[in-house]
Structure 1
Amino acid sequence: MPRRNADTREDIRAVALELFVENGFEQTSLRQIAERLGITKAALYYHFPSKDELLAELAQPLVDDLDGFFAHVREVGPGDPEAILRRYLELCHRHRKLFQSVLHDPTVLARLGTLAQVLYRRLEVDRLLVGSDLPADRVRAIIAFGGVQDSVVLMGDEPLDGYADAAVASAVRALRPG
């Protein structure tokens, strides 16, 4: 039975993300992706005319999830920092491979215009979470969110239930003044 185009696209996305995590975006060629899949470069180009388009498609689910997360935080407010940070931890865990791949070359998301968009929204949520624009308060929020995100990246494929409580509790402590 011949493969469906949707299956091939999904296989390309999965292998590309795998290689981006292993080698970084810049160091991974479309040829390497095609070879790993056992397809021709022409077949790969049929689905993704450029590596940037492939990356944009890989990043879109993260952007969509972040939009939903930021909208949720704006809607519910900062009443339950633990719930907000746990939700962010779960979001990061769903997209951990993309976060890991960006570690090799953080400028990749900037090229897509995604980084500025995400950072702007994160600053908004940081302010909302601590209820202040004071630098010391914002730094605590940045450390809390960054710690949650970094824990997911560094724990890799470890099951989330093995470290979620510790990551969230540490992030909540980082929010406390003093």
Structure 2
Amino acid sequence: MSRPTDTKARIHAVARALFMQQGVQQTSLRQIADQLGITKPALYYHFDSREALVASMFQPLLADMEAHLAALEAAPPSDPRVLLGQHFDLLSRHRDLIVMLVRDFSILTELDLVARMFAWRHRLMTLLVGPAPSVEARVRAVVAIGGMADTAVEFPDVPMDRIKPTAIEAACAALGLPPAPRPPVRAAAKRPRRAT
């Protein structure tokens, strides 16, 4: 017999696929139940509304983002390149949810996420450019953070580990940071000449 957590994971997977395909507002709990091969009351046992299902799917992202920012704020100031790399890793872990948000803005309203996302960005900006930056520094930070996040959505079929180095360098360039030093190129070992 499957455990409740297994069933919830299956519900999340089917709902995610349908939400990505046709949007949250156009997907009913009946469609999700039919795809799962269960009755609607069985689905209601786990989620009493579509809103509760969506909130449950996004809870890991919300908790992860809050914990991520709190840990960064509690730690000594970090190198911006390291901080951006850690933030990119968080975006990578929740890429499918971020793509879903961008494809269906109704989720932002449904979960009351707009103010929360602006607050997250402002906290990250403070970590990158300090508590009282110039307008120019704030603009650079917005471009860096937003542009890096957009790569997760713009290139859905490209592995995130391939995108990461370029995204971080582009974000650092937007912040006005110098390029990362390149590792020295090792010269090829010379082959000894053969005696003729």
Give a deviation string over 1:8-37, Cα, whole Å, max 9, x none: 111001111122122221122112211221
Aligned to 1:171: 171
Give the root-mean-square deviation of aligned CA atoms.
1.7
Name the residue aligned to 1:108: 107
Q: How far 1:53 sits from its partner (Å)? A: 0.5
Q: Which moved more, 1:29-38 or 1:156-165?
A: 156-165
Partner Cα separation in structure 2 for residue 90 and residue 16 of structure 1? 24
Deviation at 1:157, TM superposition (A): 4.6
Partner of 2:45: 46
Corresponding residue pairs, total: 176
Q: Does 1:143 align with 2:143?
A: yes
Identity in percent: 40
Could you say which residue in structure 2 is the equivalent of 1:15? Answer: 14
CA distances 1:13-66 after superposition (whole Å, capped 9, x unpaired)? 111112212222112211221122111111111110001101111111001111
For residue 68 of structure 1, what is the aligned residue in structure 2? Answer: 67
1:79 maps to which residue?
78
User: 1 or 2, which has the higher helix percentage?
Assistant: 1
The TM-score normalised by the length of structure 2 is: 0.82
The answer to whether the Cα contact below 8 Å between 1:74 and 1:128 also exists between their aligned partners in 2 is yes
Give the AA of the match of 2:166: A
Q: Which residue of 2 aligns with 1:28?
A: 27
Q: Residues 89 and 152 of structure 1 are in contact (CA less than 8 Å); yes or no, is this contact kept in structure 2?
A: no
Relative contact order (C-alpha < 8 Å, sep 6+): which is higher? Answer: 1
2: CA distance between counterparts of 1:139 and 1:104? 25
Deviation at 1:78, TM superposition (A): 4.5
Structure 1: 5+ residue stretches without partners = none
Task: Give the greater-gyration-radius structure (CA).
Answer: 2
Aligned to 2:187: none
Unpaired segments of 5 or more residues in structure 2? Answer: 178-196
Contact 2:25 2:106 in 1 (8 A): no
Residues of 2 paired with 1:125 and 1:4: CA distance?
Answer: 38
